[in-house]
Amino acid sequence: MRIDVLTLFPEFVDSIKEYSIIKRAIDEEKFTLNTINIRDFSKNKHKKVDDYSYGGGPGMVMTPQPLADCIESVKTENSFLVYLSPRGKKLTAKTSKSLASYEHLILLCGHYEGIDQRIIDLYVDQEISIGDYVLTGGELAAMVLIDSVSRMIPGVLGNKESADIESFEDNLLEYDQYTRPEDFRGMKVPSVLLSGNHKKIEEYRKESSFQRTLENRPDLLKNKK
Ligand code: 4H6
């Protein structure tokens, strides 16, 4: 898979290439990540990429010319273009999994008050939001999407790590986890986890998952199969 990120802040997005599982996946050529500076495509003498909003009101809108030229410089027949915006459809593990099967993903990051609607109408295949809050730009949303999609690419995670992909699919949150020491400042690890009784441990974890979900995300339980 190839991911191209169209942004006004390429260095910011490039920084994720240096870390953890994404770094390993890129080194192992599971996918490539490129950033393209939208400003490089501006034909304005001051490299301007924004303009006033028709109809008035506060804030600027990203102007179509640099966006169209930037998109056309990377787009092919099998590209899928995602626009990160607070107006988009909410990102879930299911969306990430389906995005992971594209040969070429283009992620468009907006700034100011957003982009000219005609660019959306012409080029955007899917408008995605990472949650109900506003960010100063689409870059952090694109980085979240890249992280979550890359984990779904076959071979990016080890067998052990892959298990937690399934965990969200069954609409339950993770169970409580412990590691050494057995006693930390007087707080003991639940004895069942030290018992070696795998059936009991399994039961404990199911119950722990259920309780955490009930407490933090009761909405997930309604969708449970
Ligand atoms: C597109 C349109 C994504 C992108 C408007 C982006 C939240 C998310 C942006 C804007 C984003 C998300 C610019 C509107 C700043 C508000 C960039 N915010 N905004 N939830 N911001 O995925 O002003």
Structure confidence by residue, pLDDT tens digits, 28-45: 999 999 999 999 999 999
Take atom 19 of ligand 1 and give the residue whose Cα is closest. 113
d(CA 60, CA 148): 31
Structure tokens at 154: 């076959």
What are the distances in angstroms from CA 23 to CA 1, 28, 46, 96, 161?
Answer: 15, 9, 36, 19, 16
Boundary-marking domain end, from 127, 150, 173: 150
CATH number at residue 21: 3.40.1280.10
In terms of domains, do 71 and 104 share one? yes
Cα 129 to middle of ligand 1, angstroms? 8
Residue 159 lies in a domain: no
Predicted pLDDT of residue 224: 76
Cα 111 to middle of ligand 1, angstroms? 7
User: What mean pLDDT value characterizes the chain?
Assistant: 96
Cα 141 to middle of ligand 1, angstroms? 8
Boundary-marking domain end, from 150, 181, 208: 150
- Which domain, by its residues, includes 212? 165-221
Per-residue pLDDT tens for 194-224?
999 999 999 999 999 999 999 999 999 998 7
Residue 113 contacts residue 61 (beta carbons within 8 Å): yes
Minimum-distance ligand 1 atom for the alpha carbon of 91: 22
CATH number at residue 200: 1.10.1270.20
Q: Which position has the token pair 């600027």? A: 60
Ligand 1, pocket-test mutation among 134, 136, 147, most atoms within 8 A of CB: 134
Task: Name the nearest CA neighbour of 86 among 117, 57, 115, 128.
Answer: 128
In terms of domains, do 176 and 143 share one? no
Structure tokens at 62: 């990203």
Per-residue pLDDT, averaged over 106-124, amounts to 98
Take atom 17 of ligand 1 and give the residue whose Cα is closest. 137
Residue 38 lies in a domain: yes
Minimum-distance ligand 1 atom for the alpha carbon of 109: 4
Residue 155 lies in a domain: no
Residue 158 lies in a domain: no
Take atom 23 of ligand 1 and give the residue whose Cα is closest. 113
In terms of domains, do 144 and 212 share one? no
Cα 194 to middle of ligand 1, angstroms? 47
Cα 160 to middle of ligand 1, angstroms? 35
CB atoms within 10 A of CB 5: 27
Residue 3 contacts residue 107 (beta carbons within 8 Å): yes
Of the two residues 169 and 49, the one the predictor is more confident about is 49
Cα 183 to middle of ligand 1, angstroms? 46
| pLDDT > 60? residue 163 | no
d(CA 22, CA 41): 28
In terms of domains, do 97 and 201 share one? no
CB-based pocket (< 6 A), ligand 1? 84-86, 110, 113-114, 129-131, 133-138, 141
Indicate the number of domains in the chain.
2
SS3 of 194-213: the string is: HCCCHHHHHHHHHHHHHHHH
**Predicted confidence band of residue 225 (pLDDT cuts 50, 70, 90):** low
Residue 49 lies in a domain: yes
Structure tokens at 10: 């390429």
